[in-house]
Amino acid sequence: MKYDVNVELKNKIEEYNFGDVARQANGSAWIKSGDTVMLATIVVNETELVKDDFLPLTVQYIEKAYAAGKIPGGFFKRETKPGDFETLTSRIVDRSLRPLFPKGFAYPTQITIMVFSVDKESDLQVLALNAASAALYVSDIDINTSVSAVRAAKVDGELILNPSLSELKKSTLDLYLSGSKKDLLMIEMRTLGSDNVDSTLVLDPLMDPTLSPSVVSIHSSNALGENELINVFEKTQNLLFESNTKYEEKFSEFKKETIDLEYKSNNLNTDMLKYVKDNHISDIKSAINQMAKSERSTALRQLRKSILLNKDDWDELELKDVIESVKKQEVRAQILNEKVRADGRALTEIRPISISTNVLPAAHSSCLFTRGQTQALVVLTMGGPKDAQMYEELTDNSTQNENFMVHYNFPGFSVGEATPIMGVKRRELGHGNLAKRALEPIMDLDGQTIRLVSEILESNGSSSMATVCGGYMALKAADFATSDTIAGIAMGMVSDGDKYAILSDIMGLEDHDGDMDFKVTGSKDGITAMQMDIKLGGISLDILKEALYQAKDGRSHIIDIMLEAEAKIEFNDGVLPSTDLFHIDPSFIGDVIGQAGKVIREIIEKFEVAIDIDKKDGKVKVTGKNKSGVAAAREHIEGIVNTPKIAKIEYKVGDKYTGVVKKIVDFGAFIGLPDGSDGLLHISKISDKRVEKVSDVLSEGEEIEVEILEFKGNKISLGRYH
């Protein structure tokens, strides 16, 4: 294929073709970078203008197995439902491009990104956004702003922009930003554990019947300070400016002629507006107060119905827009002018918090975290390596295991809606992923599998951050060791020209009517994860810096409350799996494992535990369903280690020893020799007379005199010496 444009960027080159494929779409871009090839298309349904005040945009990022020379696994040999990576990538593209569409654009729009070929060092999420933005820029839609993505990594203390996947695996930072030449539009950030690997022997018969070794990655906490993060933002924003300048210069000649579309009118009915302001402003303020207590409010609907009783010739949809507009103006004006929010809080004030741990007696651990009118029940379940979630991404050489899972559920009743509970939605997947990224840096799983499930029981904003806080408390309620205390807070902003106000711990009303949704998680000292969406079309670094430090203050306040609750935790000892860590002399590891794993299998079966042994330093981890079993297993192992070793004897044919009958079998008896070795005394060698039944002549534990007759490999054949 002939490429129309080559764009040289930091650490990579992108090649674009705009005219050869997908010519029926409103816009399309074929992109090649390394061996990765993608196609992005934009299609608009020009015949349907939806009435709701919402942009009906759908983004689908789709990976094809053939792109990596693979055939889909499982029963069906074709691509089926999207994987988590595909869904999360679709969300990233959607959140980055949605702010570009003109106000009043209300036509159903589909963005499709398909991966046809993959280079295993390519950042597919960065390329997906760049391809989609290019297709949108050259389309016949009235959008003249380029958006691109950049990822930042930190390897050995050095900042790397647009890293390869190999570099990213060694990084302590994963920061994904999208933006235009002027503004940041979307941020996804997490810190990562150092790429340290400990050669740990995992001995769990349920996972590995052959007791073969498996390597476990050890993570350390790498929370990033606000000042350092701001410096990274500055460097990435400079790269976004350079990249988008190149895109706009090179793509301009391929842009299609803009189609003439009718945009949804934003002009409100002036008669209705005057009537509502003159006669019902107090009713709207009362409704705002109710919405401060719940994401669902019937007050505005009731007001609309009552007005229509007297104004039956008015259009209900027009009136709805008018009431919604007045409500939004009142909410924003009160914040900007009076510095007071709808629920009476100051701009930096956090809603009341209550924390109850282990409210579910049969669960391993649980936490009911309530902040204002948002409530999350987070439940933890512990498992072993066999319980990990298996998955495979397009750039993976083999199947991977996910040992830490966070599953977030948002039922309709949490916001007073009568909706059935169906499959996992994109929003639920995204919120769970954010909570996972927040907590992962403080955890050392050390071969365990942990699943956190967050059931949102009530929601009025920031349920994902309640999941982070409740998730941390559930970890502590399971007596799980963490390297730091992590909390999450959702920040918002209201602006009008040069005037703006940053809000801490936003509720649903402020999220809906505000200009920013900025979620920050971390400790008192730094940030572990972040997610930001801007509704304005961009945000300056100065405002972002202010929001980060305000979030730090709010996070510290929440952590203090969490620490108080942590001190009062009572564990579910009856059901909570127990883990014990101790060290043994590495020279005794062979004795603990035994020949072909015989000894350790007996311990595992007898005490119902799983055992991990580090071959290097002798660290032993015993995990079981209860403390008594774990304690007994440890005592047994320490008994083996504390038993003095007997020096091996160099046996010779004809030597005579006193042995102990250890086990009687049909064909003879196994005799324990002085150095711990076993020899076989065959039934024919027990006596000069014929022996019909061994137990008639010998009994277990009896001492007898034996003679070494011969060696068969490693086996010793004995005769009875009289």
Task: Give the model's pLDDT for residue 581.
Answer: 82
In this structure, are 521 and 551 located in the same domain?
yes
Q: In this predicted model, which residue has the larger pLDDT, 50 or 564?
A: 564
CB 303 within 8 A of CB 280: yes
**Are 636 and 679 within one domain?**
no
Task: Specify the pLDDT at position 89.
Answer: 96
Region 513-527: what's the mean pLDDT? 91
Least confident of 101-115, 299-313, 449-463: 299-313
487 is written with which tokens? Answer: 């909390």
**AA letter at 308:** L
Does some domain include residue 704?
Answer: yes
Residue 66 in this model has a pLDDT that exceeds 90: yes
DSSP-assigned letters across all residues of 142-204? S-----EEEEEEEETTEEEES--HHHHHT-SEEEEEEE-SS-EEEEEEEE----EEE-EEEE-
* pLDDT at res. 215: 28
Q: Are residues 201 and 325 in the same domain?
A: no
Of 534 and 127, the structure prediction assigns the larger pLDDT to: 127
Same domain, 172 and 137: yes
Reply yes or no on whether the pLDDT at 584 is more than 60.
yes
Structure tokens, 167: 């570099």
Residue 220 has what pLDDT?
Answer: 43
In this predicted structure, the answer to whether residue 202 has a pLDDT above a threshold of 50 is: no
Q: How far is CA 581 from CA 204, 448, 454, 571, in A?
A: 15, 13, 29, 19
Expressed as residue numbers, the domain containing 676 is 656-720
Task: Check residue 28 and give its pLDDT.
Answer: 96
446 and 502 inside one domain:
yes
Task: Specify whether 161 is located in the same domain as 290.
Answer: no
Q: What percent of the chain has pLDDT over 70?
A: 93
Q: Is 60 exceeded by the pLDDT of residue 221? A: no
Q: Is residue 195 located within the same domain as residue 55?
A: yes
347 falls within a domain: no
- The answer to the question of residue 573 being in a domain is no
Predicted confidence at residue 262, as pLDDT, reads 84
516 found inside a domain: yes
409 is a domain residue: yes
Checking if the pLDDT of 702 tops 50, the result is yes
Residue 232 shares a structural domain with residue 319:
no
**Confidence (pLDDT) at 204:** 38
Residue at token pair 């002036």: 270
Same domain, 321 and 384: no
Instruction: Provide the number of structural domains found in the chain.
Output: 5
For residue 126, tell me if it sits in a domain: yes
Say if 140 falls within a structural domain: yes
- Taking 70 as the threshold, does the pLDDT of residue 264 lie above it? yes
Domain's final residue, options 543, 566, 589? 566
Q: Are residues 455 and 583 in the same domain?
A: no
Per-residue burial over 353-389, b = 16 or more CB atoms within 10 Å of its CB, e = otherwise = bebebbebeebbbbbbbbbbbbbbbbbbbbbbbebbe
> From CA 495, how far away is CA 517, in angstroms rounded?
13
Structure confidence by residue, pLDDT tens digits, 394-440: 887 778 889 999 999 999 999 888 889 888 899 999 999 999 999 99
Same domain, 42 and 189: yes
Q: Kindly state whether residues 318 and 362 are assigned to the same domain.
A: no
Position 345 in a domain = no
pLDDT at 407: 96
Q: Inform me whether the pLDDT recorded for 645 exceeds 80.
A: no
Among candidate residues 190, 225, 254, the one where a domain is terminated: 254
CATH number at residue 694: 2.40.50.140
Q: What percent of the chain has pLDDT over 90?
A: 48
CATH of the domain at 616: 3.30.1370.10
